[in-house]
Chain A
Amino acid sequence: MANRYDAVVIGGGHNGLVAAAYLARGGLKTLVLERRHVLGGAAVTEEVIPGFRFSVASYVVSLLRPEIIRDLELPRHGLHILPLDGTFTPLDDDYLWRTDDHGQTMRELRRWNPLDAEAYEEYGLLMVEMARFIKPILGIVPLDPDRPDPRDAIPLAGLLRAFGQLPRRQQTAFIQLMTMSAADFLDQWFQTDPLKATMSASGIIGTFLGVRSPGTAYVLLHHYMGEIDGAFRAWGIPRGGTGGVSEAIASAARALGAEIRTEAPVARISTRNGRATGVVLQDGQEIEAGTVLASTDAKVTFLDLLEPGTLERDFEDGIRRFRFRGSSGKVNLALDGLPSFTSLPGPGEHLRGAISFSPGLEYMEQAYDDAKAGSFSRRPYIDMVIPTLVDPRMAPPGKHVVSCFVQYAPYELAEGEQWDDAKREAFGDAVVDTIAERAPNIRDLIVGRQVLSPLDIEQTMGLTEGNIFQGELTLEQLFFNRPVPGYARFRTPLRDLWLCGSSAHPGGGIMGAPGRIAALELLRERAGGLRRWRPAS
């Protein structure tokens, strides 16, 4: 019968599509249901302003797992990642410009501080070693410290042995990365303030923390993870925007036999005596499934799509405690020319990479102070990219699109304030003002702008509180604690309901890991070779 599937995946974001592709490849009759008219979730390209195509939300890729690219033959399905070369940090009357040209970057750093240039080399080597060590963690199923499963012992023991064999210096660095603040960690290495600020920025993205908050150092590694794949550069943008990634994965999934429906919003997950049996669409249509995989975030999945009371109260409380706290916004600009920076006027290579508004650590920390006080940063950290310089087809000839990731924009505003149209525009203005301080001509170039507050991200993408990672990547919400202790293994208290989105280990970013590991784990369980694992209750 047409309405019976082995697996139904809720949500056509990149993780849902990855999961579907692997399940189909594993021979399961698989259906993906996407609420919106476009696939990709937060990894989506839309023509918001006629002629201008934006990577509406997420805008760069660095972590997409190389094994996914290989397994699903994504290049054959149109995935093409264009390198973003370098990071340009404009200041009032100077700049810091690092590129993939090692020699040039060294010369630039020496100009700032010869010692930092030396340290930078050493630091880079160390971080690559660290990334190499940590990488396996992104690929394993978290163990449940409460109910250890023998099967997890092997990879874990391997990890511990590997740690024991690291040089002391790297062991120390690892512990520091897991526990320190990005700023404290970098203070050990460098003096150059814009360098530290720009590097520390990666530590705060998507979390309601500041560069001096413990626990932010870990994300510094992410920048280096891409580098060791060799598959592609650390940072790149997919041709056709991040929607290009989703399209490629979707096409691979279809080729492998998965069925994908858009504009098919799921109203609820149907259950019968303690197990998920399928879904009911908002139009009332019922679809039966052997297994339901939700790529929606933990709150949407367990508190919105399930009848209240289906799950134990303790578990529901745990989900309510799971922290989202969206802290960032997005501003997309349509320009009819290129911005010119006072510190390095005119067009040039420096515009082809990431342009980071992060002049100093104190600037970053003050941006956070505004957010703590319940308002968007008056002078935010902005990560700006001009995709049209590497992918001209995103805009009419001579015109450009500019993608600005902005932090902080707290979902929760101070009492009496809310994200209404006025607030949204004020936020957009603050971003343009911040850019204009260093590239004054931007104002006259803007022919259109799209501003997304965390509330907009929640409403359009379905991401709770607008958190781009489907839940903060803080220590207490990682690995065996993600999303809830005891349920970090993609299974849920409800039999045959699985989690395969970024709310699950190892978390967010266009990585695809949750979707992949969840699918492989489900296939492994169905193969039934090994004892069926039951979450502790």
Chain B
Amino acid sequence: MAAGIVIGPRSSPGRYDAVVVGGGHNGLVCAAYLARGGMRTLLLERRETLGGAMATAEVSPGASVPVLAHTVGRMRPSIARDLDLAGEGLRLVQPEVRAVSVRPDGPPIALFGDPARTATELASISRHDAAAWIELDRRVSSLAGVLGRLAGQTPPDPSSPRLDDALGAMRIGLGYRGLAAEDRRELLRVLPMAVADFLGDHFETDALRALLSIRGMRFSSLAPRAAGSTQQLLADSAGNGGGLAGETVYARGGPGAMAAALVSAARRLGAELRTGVEVTQVRENGGRATGVVLASGEEIEAGIVVSGVDPKRLLLTMLDPESLGPHLGWQAGNYRSAGVTAKVNLALSDLPAFAGLDTDETRARLRGRIVVAPSVSYLDRAADAAKYGRFPTDPWLEATIPSLVDPLLVDRARDSGVRHVMSVVLQSAAYSLREGGAEAWDGRRDELGDVAIRVLETVAPGIGGLVVGRQVLTPLDLERDYGMTGGHPLHGEPSLDQWFAWRPMLGLAQYRMPLEGLYLCGSGAHPGGGVTGVPGRNAAREILADRNRARRSGRR
């Protein structure tokens, strides 16, 4: 990847080659690569802290918890190497257990990094599923490998084919050719499939189907029977060797530590990072982005502008509607970015007792992702709530107890009686409620927290009594605090209509936005959301390629 980058001389001081808007993980990754490529780069973050949704915060005095994303295992190793995140002090921990489904009406189902061990465990529930696991894990790893390679590439532009698109398509073809014949055929069949059908073809245990289905639904409004949710499951395994069980990687010190490593990497490579600076407008001149306008009114001049903020916010609020044009405006307006994800973070006075996980040996299984999703139809009903804009009464949950693998998170809180912290992703909570729209969430935040506790009580009786601190983030909070339009953690639905060569929309999938010199480097770009850093790196690659092209043609 580094090969494509020409290290060039710094240009005149006072003027930036590139301004990156938004200091989320993709903005940071992009800024780091740009600086590394020799561009004088400035990154502007509206909030006081960098890292965006990849943050660690105090849920109660001294007790730190992942604010939104709780695992970081999807960050591409190649990026971690390029930016030497380990050198910046990033330490990753991956427990052997990856996920465990805790059920009100049955023994827990645990998934491990080692497929053989998972199969052995599954055998006690279903011999059939145990046998199927080995085969499907292999297949998912193989198919996910193709998506991983696909993710690293700039999608072709089907709307106006060019030579290098053809080459890209060829590279894709090669990756595809690398597959075994039956996997090759399988890929094109399963990508558009509903995850419940895909898993239903292989497993008979409903709870196992459900436990895996959420990997196709996480952070999106895709229901288990929604076409394209299988693509999401595969993408979740892409580039991290997670296989069918998926990754469960913690950053020591919480996801904030990953952000911190990216920040120091970017600084080390020469990028300038400023916080508490809100960009309101992209400056343009004759169809070209020339810099940004800040809330303060101050203007910053730059050769190019790179947006880490979501495409809807960028196109509809930061650009001049004139230069956008009516059709693109209509498209951007229809870009689907209504979130369904809420977050409940807890400080606990003790480790909750989960049914069937109360011995020392079994308790270790709480180190993985703890999933409350008893059945596929439960997931379906949970998704229905969002569909109708109903307040979620029976959501599915994915929780982690990071303090089990990283005790330092609660070290300074022991005196205040905090032993553990729990991070709970809750779905589906519609951004806009039928009664009162999105604003209604301000009045129902605590109610949502209570729902999470109530659902947890069904699998961990007495957990409510252990709660000493609680933080609830509704979709509205995600929008207000982190600037995600519609509170969508993925900067827009990852469904097939906003995917690959048409993410965020057809004609804008190559990181270049409608203005010359304006780029998108956030999760709204291919390959989409999740802590992968890939959109940021891909965007940087395109930007530097354009820079080099311009140099060759002697401009600037």
Contacts and interface: CB of A to CB of B under 8 A. Distances in A.
A212 B387 contact: yes
Contact of A486 (B159, B185, B190, B331): B185
Interface stretch (A164-172, A248-256, A282-290): A164-172
Contacts of B182: 314
A168 B327 contact: yes
B331 A475 contact: no
Nearest to A166: B159
B318 interface: no
Contacts of B189: 476, 481, 485
A172 B160 CA distance: 12
A184 B499 CA distance: 16
Contacts of A171: 158-159, 506-507
Contacts of A480: 188
Contacts of B163: none
**Which residue among A323, A365, A373, A476 has the maximum number of chain B CB atoms within 10 Å of its CB?**
A476
A214 B184 contact: no
Contacts of A180: 495, 497
Contacts of A172: 331, 502, 505-507
A146 B184 contact: yes
Nearest to A174: B506
Interface in B210-255: 222-223, 225-228
Given A172-B505, A179-B496, A362 B380 contact: no
A163 B387 CA distance: 33
A215 interface: yes
B181 A536 contact: yes
Nearest to A184: B336
Given A209-B225, A485-B185, A485-B189, A214 B497 contact: yes
Interface in A450-485: 474-476, 480-481, 485
Given A171-B506, A209-B225, A163 B158 contact: yes
A321 interface: yes
Contacts of A362: 388
Contacts of A164: 158-161
Nearest to B185: A485
B161 to A, nearest CB: 6
Nearest to A481: B189
B377 interface: yes
A145 interface: yes
> Could you tell me the dominant secondary structure of chain A's interface residues?
helix
Nearest to A145: B188
Contact of A485 (B161, B186, B192, B497): B186
A433 to B, nearest CB: 23
A191 B495 CA distance: 23
A521 interface: no
Interface residues of B, number: 41
A397 B241 CA distance: 72
Contacts of A321: 201
A414 to B, nearest CB: 10
B197 interface: yes
B479 interface: no
Contact of A372 (B161, B201, B377): B377
A193 interface: no
Contacts of A178: 496
Given A168-B506, A171-B506, A485-B189, A179 B228 contact: yes
Nearest to A366: B388
B12 interface: no
A214 B505 contact: no
A214 B226 contact: yes
Interface in A365-393: 365, 369, 372-373
B5 interface: no
Nearest to A365: B387
Nearest to A317: B201
Contacts of A475: 192-193, 227, 496
A212 B493 CA distance: 14
Contacts, number: 95
A175 interface: yes
Given A168-B506, A369-B384, A485-B188, A476 B193 contact: yes
Contacts of A373: 377
Contacts of A99: none
Contacts of A314: 182
Interface string B89-120: 00000000000000000000000000000000
Contacts of B499: 179
Nearest to A314: B182
B71 to A, nearest CB: 27
Contact of A176 (B159, B186, B384, B497): B497
B227 A213 contact: yes
A262 B380 CA distance: 46
Contact of B227 (A145, A176, A369, A474): A474
A474 B225 CA distance: 12
Contact of B197 (A169, A187, A323, A365): A323
Contacts of B388: 362, 365
A175 B506 contact: yes
Interface string B444-477: 0000000000000000000000000000000000
B334 interface: yes
A365 B377 CA distance: 16
Contacts of A179: 192, 227-228, 495-497, 499
A273 interface: no
Contacts of B193: 475-476
A164 B193 CA distance: 27
B156 to A, nearest CB: 11
Given A168-B159, A188-B334, A485-B189, A175 B502 contact: yes
Interface string A151-195: 000000000100110001101100110111000100110000000
A180 B498 CA distance: 9
A168 B377 CA distance: 39
A213 B225 contact: yes
Interface string B504-517: 01110000000000
Given A168-B327, A172-B331, A476 B497 contact: no
A474 B496 CA distance: 13
A106 B223 CA distance: 37
Contacts of B384: 369
A306 B227 CA distance: 32
Contacts of B161: 160, 164
**Which residue among B181, B191, B227, B506 has the maximum number of chain A CB atoms within 10 Å of its CB?**
B227
A214 B495 contact: yes
Nearest to A172: B506
A536 B182 CA distance: 10
A476 B159 contact: no
**Which residue among A175, A184, A212, A314 has the maximum number of chain B CB atoms within 10 Å of its CB?**
A175
B185 A372 contact: no
Contact of A213 (B191, B226, B506): B226
A145 B176 CA distance: 10
Contacts of A184: 336, 497
A474 B191 CA distance: 12
A323 B193 CA distance: 11
A323 B197 CA distance: 9
**Which residue among A178, A187, A213, A480 has the maximum number of chain B CB atoms within 10 Å of its CB?**
A213
Contacts of B330: 188
Closest CB pairs A-B (n = 10)? A475-B192, A485-B185, A215-B227, A179-B496, A179-B497, A214-B227, A180-B497, A188-B334, A476-B193, A172-B506
27 contacts: A145-B184, A146-B184, A146-B185, A168-B327, A168-B506, A171-B159, A171-B506, A178-B496, A180-B495, A184-B497, A188-B334, A213-B223, A213-B226, A214-B222, A214-B227, A214-B228, A214-B495, A215-B227, A215-B228, A372-B377, A475-B496, A476-B193, A476-B197, A476-B227, A481-B188, A481-B189, A485-B185
Given A169-B327, A172-B506, A213-B223, 14 more contacts: A145-B184, A145-B188, A164-B160, A171-B158, A178-B496, A179-B495, A179-B497, A180-B497, A321-B201, A372-B380, A475-B192, A475-B227, A476-B191, A536-B181
